[in-house]
Amino acid sequence: MRAQINAITIAAKDLDLLKSFYIKTFGWQVQAESEQLVTFRLKNGLAFTIYQQQQHSEYLGRQDQAGNALPKTYFTINTNSLKETDEVFMALEIKEVNIIRKPSQVFWGGYSGIITDPEHNYWEISYNPME
């Protein structure tokens, strides 16, 4: 797998508050937004997305449970195709990686799945047709 990170996503209790913070404090410009999320495009093509907490949990395929809260952040590695995404997940299955959600079409138009590392940090492996 490539040594890269294409996107960082954080969960927000108050989307408007965080959006305002990043605009006013860092001077970042919004690339895309909806009622559920705001995306800023940073240098070198890195995307920084703020996601409403409830939708963040649903997207990751898990809900907060007592004593086992979901991480507020996940990282994304983009592939070049749907086929490559599937191939990466086949290799991850062979390596017995913890797969939270197998690749599938997602609401934003891409194709992605979610895994965790041994300390339960979340990683999205996805094909983004808009890249």
pLDDT, average across residues 67-95:
87
Distance CA 73, CA 119 (A): 13
Q: Note the pLDDT of residue 66.
A: 47
Q: Per-residue pLDDT averaged across 60-68, rounded?
A: 60
- pTM value surpassing 0.75: no
Tell me how many degrees the CA angle 59-87-131 measures, rounded to the nearest 5: 60
Greater confidence (26 vs 17) lies with 17
Query: What was the pLDDT predicted at 68?
Result: 56
List the chain domain ranges. Answer: 7-127
Find tokens 């017995």 and name the residue.
96
Sequence-ordered list of residues with C-beta below 8 angstroms from that of 19, at least 6 positions apart, any chain: 30, 33, 38, 50
CATH classification number, 7-127, choose in 3.40.50.10190, 3.40.50.1980, 3.40.50.1860, 3.10.180.10 = 3.10.180.10
State the DSSP string of 84-114.
Answer: HHHHHHHHHHHTT-EEEEEEEE-TTS-EEEE
